[in-house]
Amino acid sequence: MKLPSLSFLAQAFVDTCARFPATMLCAFTGSGAVMSAIEFDRSDNDNFVRVWLMAQLGLALCTGLTVFAEARGWNHWRTWGIQAIGLAVLAVYFVFFDMDAFAFESVHIPRYLGFLAGAHLLVAVAPYLNRAPVADFWEYNKQLFANFVVGGVYAHILFGGLALALLAVNELFNLDIDDKMYAHLFVLLAGVFQTAFFLAHFPRRFGFDEQDRSYNAVFKNLCQYILIPIVGLYFLILYAYSVKILVTWNLPHGWVSSLVLGFSVAGIFTYLINYLLPQYSDIKIVHAYRKWFWWVLLPMVGLLFVAIGRRISDYGITPERYYVAHAGVWLLAMCGYFLWSKTDNIKFIPISLGLFVLVAVVGPFSAFNVAQRNQTAILQDLFEKNNRFEGGLLQTGGAAVPEADALRIQSSLILLSKQDALHRIESWFPVPLDSIARDTTKYGHYERATSIAKWLNAAPTGAPPSNKKMVTVYPRQRPMLSGNIAGYRTFHQVQLYGGEEVAKRNRPGQTTVFSEDRKALLLLSADGKITTDSLDLSAAMRVWMTTAGKEDYYNLPDSLDVVELRGRKFVARLYLQEARFDKEKLQLQSLTGVLFVK
């Protein structure tokens, strides 16, 4: 086989950029944003992250718009025009994508992920929003999947080879190449090369001949011997659990919903790959899977509804429970369609899923709005039950509410605070909510909810402590070991988690443990039975706490990630990797790093 020339590769790259200019612009922009974040090593890279997130969304969105236009025979100007509209939409979204918003993690990120999923589904169906044969739709998506996997494999092989070459040149010629070069290389290959490879092999026509629609050995074996058996294993586990429910007559736990969803995702993916395989294979399990999958899935959807219904009836609707119930509705719709429809059109799967995803993240029936309305109704019922309303307004003080009601009130207030939705109950208060919930920090959800509950004398007496009292500190990205360690006789790899105490010193090779008060690091003898010295970390924790301020996670300056310690017998130096501790009690929860002792 003749290798392609450089001129051929260059021309293929130019042709790809001409066909997908907006997509390639997003690839370059996103890669540049990530490389800038790596190069400048800033503690605040929010703008770079925003650019990268929009670029990732743009990759799929602009590709989907391009093939939508091509499938309808639009000329170059109209095709480029619809791509320009896609870029304009991304620019507007970028402006409103506020990473400092109270509800960023709980609302903006899930909504972004919903848009991202919708954009990828658009790529899958955009050329086939018409009466094109289902077999063409299947072949098109098979080629996309294969090209993506092959491109990813090539990108990783190239990275491995070029990284080794870079390492060899660096070691042989003492060039002192910055380690960041490896990260830049990976970003270029993953962000630009793989995108260009995928688009260069993107189908140029959306109708396929009969000889094009076939299974190679890889797809056959993947479906017959890997995917179908895995789905069968899920099937056995879930049906065995269903039998247990019937025998013990106990309602299922909430975790079973995750297993049902996992079974559904794996099963539907396998169904799509297996869709045309019965035409090319005589194996009975292939034909049985195509025929019976939706019948097998239907009882599992019922099990999902029972499990998530129990959680919702006990604790109300949260976005997470909404997603599970919403997915259940979609799965039920899929079962109904494929069991009783005569067309059996698999295009219905991505089209309906895209619509369901958009409903879940945008509009009055989104997870956020439904959860907020539900939790607001729960709060109103609880306040009325405990006589907190007077003249239509909530009143401060009053008799203490039962602990169970107090916990529900606090939980609902925390959810509304996380979603920046306390305005839904603001009209209930005789004073502005800001005068009650004074913590205006981004992650002060627990504090705001507790302040409101205390004002109403409805705070739980045994409420768990705020996570804000815990802080995690870690060094900036640089070689962990640097500096003169001459004179140190031994070193210890410190890996202590979950507040391990002296009683847990019997692990093989354990040479360090926390003291009983978790304020110091104890050095043990080689057999782990004798304490040879104690190294107090209280002073270091005070410095870390003062430096971190109100942050939950803090990136320490270089001057603080190496700690000098002195015990009764030894002097030690700790190269910190990560420490988590209680700011109030100065008690270590976890500690990792390397300890040198002399």
Looking at 322, 337, 362, the residue that finishes a domain is 362
Confirm whether 202 is domain-assigned: yes
pLDDT digits (tens, 9 = 90+) for 42-51: 555 778 999 9
Give dist(CA 550, CA 548) in Å, integer: 6
CA dihedral 279, 285, 290, 291 (to 10 degrees): 110
Pair 98, 204 in one domain: yes
pLDDT at residue 468 in the model: 57
More confident: 254 or 566: 566
Q: How many CA atoms lie within 13 A of 265 on its CB side?
A: 8
pLDDT at residue 505 in the model: 47
Pair 204, 226 in one domain: no
Distances (CA, A) of 575 to 47, 56, 156: 31, 37, 32
In sequence order, which residues have a C-beta less than 8 Å from that of residue 494 and are 6 or more positions away? 512, 521, 574, 591, 592, 593, 594, 595
Q: Rounded mean pLDDT of 488-495?
A: 82
Please report which confidence band the pLDDT of residue 466 belongs to, taking 50, 70 and 90 as the band edges: very low
Give dist(CA 436, CA 188) in Å, integer: 50
Q: Which of the residue ranges 191-200, 376-385, 439-448 would you say has the lowest mean pLDDT? A: 439-448
Give dist(CA 523, CA 513) in Å, integer: 7
Please report which confidence band the pLDDT of residue 549 belongs to, taking 50, 70 and 90 as the band edges: confident
pLDDT at residue 240 in the model: 86
Whether the pLDDT of residue 229 is over 60: the answer is yes
- Residue 74, number of CB atoms within 10 A of its CB: 15
pLDDT at residue 4 in the model: 65
Pair 229, 164 in one domain: no
Whether the pLDDT of residue 271 is over 60: the answer is yes
Pair 428, 542 in one domain: no
Q: Shortest CA distance to 126 belongs to which of 69, 74, 171, 76?
A: 69
Q: Which one of 284-298, 475-489, 577-591 scores highest in mean pLDDT?
A: 284-298
Partners of 193 in the β-ladder? none
Pair 486, 499 in one domain: yes
pLDDT at residue 109 in the model: 94
Whether the pLDDT of residue 536 is over 50: the answer is yes
Pair 238, 331 in one domain: yes
Whether the pLDDT of residue 451 is over 90: the answer is no
Whether the pLDDT of residue 132 is over 60: the answer is yes
Pair 198, 263 in one domain: no
- Burial of 313 (C-beta count, 10 Å sphere; 0-12/13-18/19+): exposed
More confident: 479 or 216: 216
More confident: 466 or 482: 482
Looking at 444, 464, 484, the residue that finishes a domain is 464
The size of the chain, in residues, is: 598
Under DSSP, the state recorded for 443 is T
Pair 410, 542 in one domain: no
Confirm whether 1 is domain-assigned: no
CB 100, CB 440: distance < 8 Å: no
Please report which confidence band the pLDDT of residue 483 belongs to, taking 50, 70 and 90 as the band edges: low
Encode burial over 158-178: b for 16+ CB neighbours within 10 A, e otherwise: bbeeeeeeeeeeeeeeeeeee
**What is the residue type of 28?**
F
Please report which confidence band the pLDDT of residue 492 belongs to, taking 50, 70 and 90 as the band edges: confident
pTM value > 0.85: no
Q: Which of the residue ranges 296-305, 482-491, 582-591 would you say has the lowest mean pLDDT? A: 482-491
Question: What's the whole-number average pLDDT of the chain?
Answer: 86
Pair 429, 533 in one domain: no
Give dist(CA 122, CA 114) in Å, integer: 12
CA 150, 156, 162, 164 dihedral sign is negative
Split into its structural domains, the chain has a count of 4
Whether the pLDDT of residue 508 is over 70: the answer is no
CA 228, 230, 231, 237 dihedral sign is positive
Can you give the residue range of the structural domain that contains 189? 6-210
Please report which confidence band the pLDDT of residue 239 belongs to, taking 50, 70 and 90 as the band edges: confident
Looking at 210, 231, 260, the residue that finishes a domain is 210
Q: How many CA atoms lie within 13 A of 12 on its CB side?
A: 15
Pair 183, 260 in one domain: no
pLDDT at residue 1 in the model: 47
The three state secondary structure string of 79-95 is HHHHHHHHHHHHHHHHH
